[in-house]
A and B are shown apart, each in its own frame.
Chain A
Amino acid sequence: MSHDHEHGLPPKSSVSRWFLTTNHKDIGVLYLITALFFLVFGGVLALLFRLELISSGADLLGSMGYNQAVSTHGLLMVFWFISPFAFGFANYIVPLQIGADDLAFPRLNALSYWLYLFSGILMGVSFFQGTTFAGGWTMYAPLNTPAYIPGEGLGATSVVLALIMFTAAVTLGSVNFLTTMYRMRAENLRMRDIPIFSLSINLTVWMMLFAFAALLAALMILASDHILGTTYFQYSIDGTTMATDADNPGASLLWAHLFWFFGHPEVYIVFFPALGVMAECFQTFTGRRLVGRKWFIISMVLVALQSFVVWMHHMFLTGINLPIKTIFMATTIGISLPFDLMVFSLIYTMAKGRVRFTTPFLFSLGALILFIIGGITGVFLGAIVLDYQFRGTYWVVAHFHYVMVAGATALFGGLYYWYPKITGKMYNETLGKIQFGVYFLGFNLLYFPMFIAWETPRRVFVYPDGLQIWHSMATVGGFILGASFLLMFYNLFVSLWRGEDVGPNPWEYATSAEWAVSSPPSLENFPGVPSYATGKLEFLDEEAVTERTESAPGGAAHGHAATDGGTATDGGAVTARAAATATAVEPAHEVGGEEHASHASFWPFLVSLGGFIAFLGLSGVRTGSVFYLSMAAVGGVATFGSLVGMTREPFHAPEMAIAERWPFERVEKMKLGMWTFLASDIVLFGAFIGSYAFVRVAYGWTAWHHDLIPAEHVTMPGLINTYLLLTSSFLVVLAMVAAERESKRGTVAALVGTFALGVGFLINKGIEWNHLFHISTETFPNGWGLSTNIASSTFYLTTGLHGAHVTIGLIICAYMTVRAWNGAYQGDDRAIEYFGLYWHFVDIVWLFLFPLFYIL
């Protein structure tokens, strides 16, 4: 029988536990195991094409097999392995390090995981739809569009949809982590003082929030090109050949811009958690606080900001102009400077401390060495003239593997570092060190020869005979690297049974908060409410919390202290003032009734399963196949039904009674979550509008309207819709006012009005679209549809995305209207306010779409 503290979850030995759990530690473990599965998946593909490259030519896999293996390897490793692996640790460790009992939105966290898993399964299924995507992990246009994909290309469409699903998981995760870190830090724990791993995750999720929104836009547009027939990323096709009067000269550059605006921050999204692990391990195994910690943090912040202004160094070989290349060369060289500072900080920490060569430290040190090589060789690529020579060669392949796999190396160190915390068992240290030796040898034998054989063209299986020796060495190195993982899996698996039991802190000098609790920690994490009010970690009991909240709401603030590194303690920088009462009374932050409601939920799994079926169906709808159409319909209904079920399920995750919340003290967590999501949505719409602006500039801004848009596309429908949306926004605020005044009739009337105006908006849009689809003029004899030209594609897709937002808003509005009818929200208008934030945002977007698509 479940104890109250188990929040209705079955025991860990039960399979159902892992489908129902919303606990951050369980989900962290799920992420780690799933990411390691994808590591093996991507790794086996890599071994296959390394075998292929023992000699020049595609005599093992065949040309299409080789292209698929290379593309899928890249996509799996970048998206489905490295970041999710880091976020396994983030899920498990960050709440413990900052003093939270879970993430802010536990069910959303579970939903992120299941979306991630099912997106990976969809990726795998794509192999069975003829062929999977084979155009390289960067998916350059126009080779990413159906017209340029051999066969039906359904597998490629599934890959695009899988990436959309993955990106949705990332966005939900970003919102969740940011809300958690700004609303649930232990009392008196300033942002700058949180342990360096958590800080690295904080900056990572900031980058993810904005970068993945741009990727989402790119993928949604690409999916539309695949499924709906828009023409963003392809030149005009005239029958079976490319038309000479192509109307979309910006097609392939648009993809490059969108992809690399995401892609370069992605490098740091991958590497920052690894930096955090390295810093933690350097501190713990040298017994020294990170030297220049403040400057290390400032450097990370600078890199996070700069990461968004370097993307065009990936495009030096395209037709972008020289001034912009020069600017981006400067920003790219500039971003190496804060990294230099971080590297020196780590080296100096090692020099000042007394090093203990444990397995986690060896991996961290190895990662640093590899990263230095990767970083230096990358600076070559930031220089325009050198990039002209190196771009598209194995120099790039070697460089980015030295960077990205250096990150993975640190994360493997993290796996050893936190393994005792997660399992309560110690791994075999000797075997760990042997694995590091084999890993490091294999890594360098695999990737270093690629620098020497740099003239090999990238993504091509044919190379000059003189380079064969280097490729053979690399292949041997690849198998040695692969073998090292067998040692790791054996070690970690066997240690689950044979490993020595460990206490809270097996590392002599580890001082961050996760080491202050049992290994593994209890479901509640802490024996009371964590607080740093005295400058040291304490656990407050119910009485102390009540005193604190009554005397100083928001928490006291004295004696700030960094919560990681520092000098040795007696096994943890902890004084458990109320520890004696921790097992005898309810944890103080869990008092007050509903908190013990079940935290088990099957809905996140079901929503993701429904999404998987729907997306698999969508991948084939363009064929008109009943099978695919049925799957899309069934999946869509299942997803919607599951979302409704999830909404109606009672689930209570209260805010902490006392917490440090700078700089969002007065922004309740739901509101902060909504604002964070909207910030991401701004980038999504921004990227759509930016895409429109880009292709219009490429075509000729003023000629666009004259050449591509029919005279029947007039201002009036847009103006009417502007009035409808503005009025509906006004009614939402009136609903808030009515709820505040506890006027049920007023609340319901205003919400009904909002709903009716939103429906009116959609009907008006439907009439307008139907008219444009069926016009017949000299220039547009077959109507103005999605595929007519690039202007029609941008119009329908951008306003369609907006219409989809309106539709989602209407569903929420309908739900809230029913609730208001039943008496909800009276005297508490917060829910209406949060809905209003979304609805007004949809309104704001239209305020820009109206002039851009109807007037100018």
Chain B
Amino acid sequence: MDWKGYTVIYVVLFVFATAQAVVEFAGLVDSAYWAAFALIMVLSVIKAVGVAAYYQHLRWEPRAVTYLVLGGTVAALALTGAAAYSIL
């Protein structure tokens, strides 16, 4: 990937970060908390995938590297999700 491609990714990340703050500044967090929560977290996930895929070059690595990363992610999500559910 050349510098132009990296720049496009950077601009997208910058805009998405701003969008997350705008959601709060617009009062959505107060008026519709869970909709704002979902929107903000989805934006975070998209940004994270963008950084991993393009800046960390996961897109061009063997899939096994992606599975390695997913293994850690799934473990962390399993702990978080199951633990939180256990006290609902």
Given contacts A686-B77, A855-B20, is CB(A679)–CB(B68) below 8 Å? yes
Is B3's CB under 8 angstroms from A734's CB?
A: yes
Closest beta carbon of chain B to A384's beta carbon, Å: 14
Is B76's CB under 8 angstroms from A689's CB?
A: yes
Contact residues of A between 707 and 749, Cβ < 8 Å to B:
715, 719, 722-723, 726-727, 729-730, 732-734, 737
Q: How far is the CA of A663 from the CA of B23 in the complex (A)?
A: 42
Most buried by A among B44, B76, B84: B76
Interface presence of A649 (CB below 8 A): no
Is B40's CB under 8 angstroms from A730's CB?
A: no
User: Which one of A672, A723, A843 lies within 8 Å of B51 (CB-CB)?
Assistant: A843
Interface presence of B31 (CB below 8 A): no
Is B40's CB under 8 angstroms from A324's CB?
A: no
Interface presence of A850 (CB below 8 A): yes
Is A730's CB under 8 angstroms from B69's CB?
A: no
Contact residues of A between 235 and 289, Cβ < 8 Å to B:
250, 253-254, 257-258, 261
Given contacts A734-B6, A737-B6, A841-B56, is CB(A664)–CB(B80) below 8 Å? no
Is B56's CB under 8 angstroms from A727's CB?
A: no
Closest beta carbon of chain A to B84's beta carbon, Å: 5
A-contact 0/1 string along B30-47, CB 8 Å cutoff: 000100110011011001
User: Which one of A686, A690, A734 lies within 8 Å of B72 (CB-CB)?
Assistant: A686
Q: How far is the CA of A729 from the CA of B12 in the complex (A)?
A: 13
Is B69's CB under 8 angstroms from A856's CB?
A: no
Nearest residue, chain A, Cβ from B67: A663
Q: How far is the CA of A162 from the CA of B35 in the complex (A)?
A: 44
Interface presence of A693 (CB below 8 A): yes
Nearest residue, chain A, Cβ from B64: A663
Q: How far is the CA of A685 from the CA of B76 in the complex (A)?
A: 8
Interface presence of A625 (CB below 8 A): no
Closest beta carbon of chain B to A705's beta carbon, Å: 9
Is A664's CB under 8 angstroms from B62's CB?
A: yes
Which of A367-375, A418-426, A832-840 lies on the face that meets chain B? A832-840
Interface majority SS (helix, strand, loop, mixed), chain B: helix
Given contacts A683-B76, A702-B33, A855-B20, is CB(A726)–CB(B10) below 8 Å? yes
- In the bound complex, residues from chain A placing their C-beta under 8 Å from that of B79 are 214, 257-258, 261, 683, 686-687, 690
Contact residues of A between 818 and 856, Cβ < 8 Å to B:
833, 836-837, 840-841, 843-844, 847-848, 850-851, 855-856
Nearest residue, chain A, Cβ from B6: A733
Nearest residue, chain A, Cβ from B5: A733
Is A847's CB under 8 angstroms from B51's CB?
A: yes
User: Which one of B40, B52, B77, B88 lies within 8 Å of A844 (CB-CB)?
Assistant: B52
Given contacts A664-B64, A675-B68, is CB(A697)–CB(B84) below 8 Å? yes
Closest beta carbon of chain A to B29's beta carbon, Å: 6
Interface majority SS (helix, strand, loop, mixed), chain A: helix
Closest beta carbon of chain A to B82's beta carbon, Å: 7
Is B72's CB under 8 angstroms from A848's CB?
A: no
Closest beta carbon of chain A to B4's beta carbon, Å: 10
User: Which one of B55, B68, B80 lies within 8 Å of A693 (CB-CB)?
Assistant: B80
- In the bound complex, residues from chain A placing their C-beta under 8 Å from that of B84 are 690, 693-694, 697
Closest beta carbon of chain A to B64's beta carbon, Å: 4
- In the bound complex, residues from chain A placing their C-beta under 8 Å from that of B87 are 250, 253, 319-321, 694, 697-698
- In the bound complex, residues from chain A placing their C-beta under 8 Å from that of B21 are 715, 719, 855
Is B76's CB under 8 angstroms from A686's CB?
A: yes
Is A727's CB under 8 angstroms from B10's CB?
A: yes
- In the bound complex, residues from chain B placing their C-beta under 8 Å from that of A833 are 57
Given contacts A686-B80, A847-B51, is CB(A210)–CB(B61) below 8 Å? no
Q: How far is the CA of A734 from the CA of B3 in the complex (A)?
A: 7
Closest beta carbon of chain A to B3's beta carbon, Å: 5
Most buried by A among B33, B82, B88: B82
Given contacts A687-B79, A737-B3, is CB(A840)–CB(B55) below 8 Å? yes
Is B72's CB under 8 angstroms from A697's CB?
A: no
Is A309's CB under 8 angstroms from B85's CB?
A: no
User: Which one of B3, B44, B55, B78 lies within 8 Å of A308 (CB-CB)?
Assistant: B78
Closest beta carbon of chain B to A305's beta carbon, Å: 10
Inter-chain contact total with CB atoms closer than 8 Å: 168
Closest beta carbon of chain B to A720's beta carbon, Å: 10
Q: How far is the CA of A666 from the CA of B29 in the complex (A)?
A: 45
- In the bound complex, residues from chain A placing their C-beta under 8 Å from that of B29 are 855-856
- In the bound complex, residues from chain A placing their C-beta under 8 Å from that of B72 are 210, 213, 678-683, 686
Q: How far is the CA of A678 from the CA of B86 in the complex (A)?
A: 28
- In the bound complex, residues from chain B placing their C-beta under 8 Å from that of A837 are 56
- In the bound complex, residues from chain B placing their C-beta under 8 Å from that of A210 are 71-72, 75
Q: How far is the CA of A321 from the CA of B71 in the complex (A)?
A: 27
Most buried by A among B6, B44, B47, B86: B86
Closest beta carbon of chain B to A177's beta carbon, Å: 14
Is A726's CB under 8 angstroms from B17's CB?
A: yes
Q: How far is the CA of A117 from the CA of B83 in the complex (A)?
A: 34
Given contacts A663-B62, A675-B65, is CB(A730)–CB(B20) below 8 Å? no
Most buried by B among A312, A680, A694, A732: A694
Interface presence of A667 (CB below 8 A): yes
Nearest residue, chain B, Cβ from A253: B87
Interface presence of A59 (CB below 8 A): no
- In the bound complex, residues from chain B placing their C-beta under 8 Å from that of A726 are 10, 13-14, 17
Is B83's CB under 8 angstroms from A855's CB?
A: no
Q: How far is the CA of A685 from the CA of B48 in the complex (A)?
A: 14
Q: How far is the CA of A726 from the CA of B37 in the complex (A)?
A: 22
Is B3's CB under 8 angstroms from A683's CB?
A: no
Is B69's CB under 8 angstroms from A678's CB?
A: yes
- In the bound complex, residues from chain A placing their C-beta under 8 Å from that of B14 are 723, 726
- In the bound complex, residues from chain B placing their C-beta under 8 Å from that of A309 are 78, 82
B-contact 0/1 string along A628-666, CB 8 Å cutoff: 000000000000000000000000000000000001111
- In the bound complex, residues from chain A placing their C-beta under 8 Å from that of B57 are 833
Q: How far is the CA of A648 from the CA of B82 in the complex (A)?
A: 45
Q: How far is the CA of A663 from the CA of B40 in the complex (A)?
A: 35
Nearest residue, chain B, Cβ from A738: B3
Is B17's CB under 8 angstroms from A730's CB?
A: no
Interface presence of A676 (CB below 8 A): yes
Is A257's CB under 8 angstroms from B75's CB?
A: no
Nearest residue, chain B, Cβ from A663: B64
Is A847's CB under 8 angstroms from B47's CB?
A: yes
User: Which one of A685, A722, A855 lies within 8 Å of B40 (CB-CB)?
Assistant: A855
Is B44's CB under 8 angstroms from A321's CB?
A: no
- In the bound complex, residues from chain A placing their C-beta under 8 Å from that of B75 are 210, 214, 308, 682-683, 686
B-contact 0/1 string along A391-425, CB 8 Å cutoff: 00000000000000000000000000000000000
The 8 closest A-B pairs by CB, nearest first: A686-B76, A690-B80, A682-B72, A663-B64, A679-B72, A320-B86, A730-B10, A257-B83
Q: Show 8 residue pairs from A and B whose CB-CB distance is below 8 angstroms, ordered by the A residue.
A: A210-B72, A258-B79, A666-B62, A682-B69, A715-B25, A726-B13, A730-B55, A856-B40
Binding site for B on A (CB under 8 A): 210, 213-214, 250, 253-254, 257-258, 261, 308-309, 312, 315, 319-321, 324, 663-667, 672, 675-676, 678-683, 685-687, 689-690, 693-694, 697-698, 702, 715, 719, 722-723, 726-727, 729-730, 732-734, 737, 833, 836-837, 840-841, 843-844, 847-848, 850-851, 855-856
Q: A253-B87, A689-B80, A732-B55 are in contact. List 6 more A-B contacts (CB 8 A).
A: A320-B87, A678-B69, A682-B76, A693-B84, A715-B25, A841-B56
